[in-house]
Homo-oligomer: A and B are copies of this chain.
Amino acid sequence: MPELRKDPVIGRWVIIATERRKRPHDFQVTGEGCMTDTSSCPFCEGNEGKTPPEIIAYRNGTPPNSPGWSLRVVPNKFPALAIEGGLGRVGEGMFDKMNGVGAHEVIIETPRHVCNYDVLPEQEIEGIVSAYRDRVIDLKGDDRFQYILIFKNKGRDAGASLEHTHSQLIALPIVPKRVSEELSGAREYFGFKERCVFCDIIRQETQDGTRLVAESEHFILISPYAPKSPFETWILPREHQSSFETIKDEQIPDLARLLHLVMRKMVDVLGDPPFNYMIHSAPLHTDPEHYHWHIEIMPKLTHHAGFEWGSGFYINPTPPEDAAEALRNCDTVCQP
């Protein structure tokens, strides 16, 4: 019989549709592959002139916007938001609008034309995590911004328009709806239990083990209880921490290792699926005791359709216990 499961944070119900049950091999996709002629790729070393001037780069003493870097952060060439200007909140009859002020940056994760960072050395992934932190800390100084979202789109079906591995950052003048919902769900739980809901999830998943994929000193990797889509996984810091940018130096290599691990596990179990990941963190300049930052990783294996659009309710054909088992048990190349 199918099950309805409730997300303990946001209160959203999900249908675990056992009649439509899908196992990992039902999803096996073949990666799009990387193009071999990379002369036109704006993210490759040597093509620095094809991007707007860099904001920061990790370099060995080479001058800005030239070769000789391991990571670059540049403004998005086609930004969704404009960095200049004020908010200008106004009405339009009964409607409300404001200027689309914000930052939209691209983190180019490696100078080599690589399509996913499962093949990068762990040290480069540490650099990516550090760059995320450095950019948030810098942008926090701009008091027009209330929220910063860091995310990664991999593969065309997950919304990536360039294949060279990269992440993005958008700084927003408002707290987006999805974040407010998480915050208010978590606040309600805290009000009732006087405990952080994410800390409770970590305790239960660690003890129970059926949805646990991997653990490390500072983080756990799980399939959440009520996943929106098959093989969704979350990485959570064990210790209560509301905001990603307060990550400590000693946590960074550990997080990089777990991110690397989940990437390799997805390639092993699912082929080379398109995916998105997003860092969920508290709004800037807040440190709520009820909120706990984490990363949600969502391989794109099914199409969300009219039912999901109309109801905000997801049909998931793979129970998270099956997904966790497959990811946990995949062969040795996946061991941390």
Residue positions of A touching B, CB distance < 8 A: 1-6, 8, 10-13, 15-20, 78-82, 85, 92-100, 147, 149, 151-153, 156-160, 168, 170, 172-174, 176-179, 181, 197, 200-201, 204, 208, 225-226, 276-280, 296, 298, 302-307, 309-313, 315
Contact = CB atoms under 8 A, between A and B. Distances in A.
B82 A177 contact: no
A4 B174 contact: yes
A312 B99 contact: no
The count of identical subunits is 2
A156 B157 CA distance: 13
B306 A177 contact: no
Which of A82, A159, A201 counts the most chain B CB atoms within 10 A? A159
Contact of A2 (B17, B81, B147): B81
Contacts of A85: 1
A231 to B, nearest CB: 14
A152 to B, nearest CB: 6
Contacts of A307: 80, 149, 151, 168, 170, 278
22 contacts: A1-B99, A2-B79, A2-B82, A4-B98, A4-B100, A8-B96, A11-B177, A13-B174, A13-B177, A17-B100, A94-B200, A94-B201, A151-B306, A158-B303, A159-B303, A160-B305, A170-B311, A176-B313, A178-B311, A179-B312, A276-B310, A277-B306
Given A178-B313, A306-B152, A310-B149, A80 B173 contact: no
Instruction: Give the dominant DSSP class at A's interface.
Output: mixed
B311 A179 contact: yes
B97 A4 contact: yes
A170 to B, nearest CB: 6
A306 B158 contact: yes
Contacts of A6: 95-97
Contacts of A312: 176-179, 181
A32 to B, nearest CB: 14
Q: Which 4 A-B pairs have the closest CB atoms?
A: A159-B305, A2-B100, A178-B312, A151-B306
